[in-house]
Structure 1
Amino acid sequence: MTVHNGGCHCGNIRLSFPTALDPAAMEIRACQCSFCTRHGSRAAADAGGRLAISVEDKARLQVYRFGLHTADYLICRECGVYVAAIAGDGADARAIVNVNALDDRELFCREPIPVRYDAETREQRLARRRSAWMPVEVHGRAAELANAAISG
């Protein structure tokens, strides 16, 4: 396993993404929804990997939910960086990472695949995320906020 670290620009949100997959071969998705295109998101997940998110100051964590309200998008209120999205809660929580928020983002060099999920029902979207996204843990002083947000 190789661990890819990163986070937001100001350091309030930190990421740790251990994966056995080669980042140069990993599928990168460019969701075409208005949120992802406006943030220039390049999303990746390894269902066999894991994402750990640490938040220093919960007051500087923005949890944004839109559309079908099936995921929480984590954005730093201080520096504005979108780092990851979480669907589900507790042990069933799954996430994608915005590889642009990783320190070694240049290793994730595969051309992003434009994807559209507009035709999915709520149930289809949740099922896709359960199967394709990776397990996630939220740590730090803001864990209670993030965990409450993703469960509610």
Structure 2
Amino acid sequence: MTVHGGGCHCGNIRLSFSSALDPAGMEIRACQCSFCTRHGSRAAADPDGKLVVSVKDRARLQIYRFGLRTADYLICRECGVYVAAIAGNGADAMAIVIVNALDDREQFSREPIPVRYDAESRERRVTRRRSAWMPVEIQGI
């Protein structure tokens, strides 16, 4: 496993993304919803990997939910960086990492695949995320 570190600009939120996949070949998704488009989001996940999110100051973490309200979008209140999305709770929580928030983001060089999930039902969205997203550990929340 290779560990890709990262986080928000001010350092309040830190990321540790572990994956055995080659970052240059990893599928990168560019969700076309208004939130992701406005953030220039490029998301990745490795179902066999893991994401660890560490938050120094909980008061500076913004958790945003919209649409079907099936995921929490993590944004730093201090510097405004969108770092990850998390669905579920505890041991069942799954996540995507926002490649732009990784320190070695240039290694994730595959052209993003534009995706649209607007037509998904709540059940379909949860099922897709369980199969395609990765386990996540959250520290400091």
TM-score (norm 1): 0.92
Moved over 4 A (4+): none
Amino acid at match of 2:127: A
SS of the counterpart of 1:62?
A: strand
Q: Is 1:98 matched up with 2:98?
A: yes
Cα displacement string for residues 80-117 of structure 1 (whole angstroms, at most 9, x for unaligned residues): 00000000011000000000000000000000000000
Distance 2:118 2:77 in 1: 27
- What is the Cα deviation at residue 21 of structure 1? 0.2
Aligned residue number for residue 35 of structure 2: 35
Q: Is 1:60 matched up with 2:95?
A: no
- What is the Cα deviation at residue 136 of structure 1? 0.2
Q: Is 1:4 matched up with 2:11?
A: no
Cα displacement string for residues 68-88 of structure 1 (whole angstroms, at most 9, x for unaligned residues): 000000000000000000000
- What is the Cα deviation at residue 16 of structure 1? 0.1
Amino acid at match of 1:123: E
Aligned residue number for residue 26 of structure 1: 26
Amino acid at match of 1:92: D
Aligned residue number for residue 150 of structure 1: none
Distance 1:118 1:79 in 2: 28
Consecutive unaligned residues of structure 1, counting only runs of 5 or more, are: 144-152
- What is the Cα deviation at residue 5 of structure 1? 0.2
- What is the Cα deviation at residue 47 of structure 1? 0.1
Aligned residue number for residue 84 of structure 1: 84
Aligned residue number for residue 15 of structure 1: 15
Consecutive unaligned residues of structure 2, counting only runs of 5 or more, are: none
State the number of aligned residues. 141
Cα displacement string for residues 19-38 of structure 1 (whole angstroms, at most 9, x for unaligned residues): 00000000000000000000
Cα displacement string for residues 35-89 of structure 1 (whole angstroms, at most 9, x for unaligned residues): 0000000000000000000000011000000000000000000000000000001
Amino acid at match of 1:41: S
Indicate the percent of aligned positions where both proteins have the same amino acid: 82
Amino acid at match of 2:51: L
Aligned residue number for residue 130 of structure 1: 130
TM-score (norm 2): 0.99
Amino acid at match of 2:27: E
Aligned residue number for residue 147 of structure 1: none
Amino acid at match of 1:94: M
Tell me which protein shows more helix as a share of its residues: 1
C-alpha RMSD over aligned residues: 0.4
